[in-house]
Amino acid sequence: MSPIKGGLCPISCISRFRKNGITISFGMRRGIRNFLRATRICLFCYGLLGVFAALETRADDTFVYAVQLSAAVQANPPQILLSWEPDPYGAISYAISRKSAQATSWGPATVVPGGATNYLDTNVVDGSSYEYQVFKAATLGYKGYGYIYAGINAPLIESRGGLSLIVATNSTTSLSNELGRLEADLIGDGWRVTRHDVSSNDTLCRSVAHHQ
């Protein structure tokens, strides 16, 4: 070290040493250490914010617990193509099961890789319909399910029976278009619809007795 001339001087000017031809003061070393410490703290905080943001986004993405299915059919040769949206966080596998509308249990599952987005079923018959279940095993550990009913030239069901549609009176005006569409869809699907507009303050027994 060399003596300091000219009276008092800050510690950063008093104590110095040379390393690799560069003069570094003890004050500079403290400043560098403080800077690096503050940088690590900032990076840590940004990392935590990134984790919280990812968790919040995933908490809002409730659709990942479902498999969004669509079906395309072909009569010659007969086949049904199932398609679904990929999981944004990745999937390990998808298991596709099938049964007839009258069956009470699913048939053996066909497993496809997690990167698959469709499944072609060629073991089908023109004039028949089938119900499908698609089970997703997600990379992050959650599970998803999807269901669809598809057929090729399947016969229409003209009459499914009667159906009572209960509507709260405080919704009949604001949802008149939607309620009309619902009734039309139910009738078109073969249901005999009987609509009951009731007060939201009524009990079920009182409402049914009133409309009988």
Instruction: Give the pLDDT confidence of 124-179 residue by residue, as tens digits.
Output: 999 999 999 999 999 999 999 999 999 999 887 778 899 999 888 887 888 888 88
Instruction: Give the pLDDT confidence of 66-110 residue by residue, as tens digits.
Output: 999 999 999 999 999 999 999 999 999 999 999 998 899 999 999
pLDDT on residue 146: 96
Query: Who has greater pLDDT, 200 or 161?
Result: 161
pLDDT on residue 212: 56
Instruction: Give the pLDDT confidence of 29-55 residue by residue, as tens digits.
Output: 566 566 556 555 554 555 545 544 444
Q: What percent of the chain has pLDDT over 90?
A: 49
Burial of 73 (0-12, 13-18, 19+ CB in 10 A): middle
**CATH top class, domain 63-151:** mainly beta
Please confirm whether the linkage preceding 78 is cis (ω < 30° from 0): no
Q: Which two tokens stand for residue 10?
A: 């800050």
Q: Is the pTM of this model over 0.85?
A: no
The pLDDT of residue 16 is above 60: no
Residue pair 165/194 in contact by the 8 Å Cβ criterion: yes
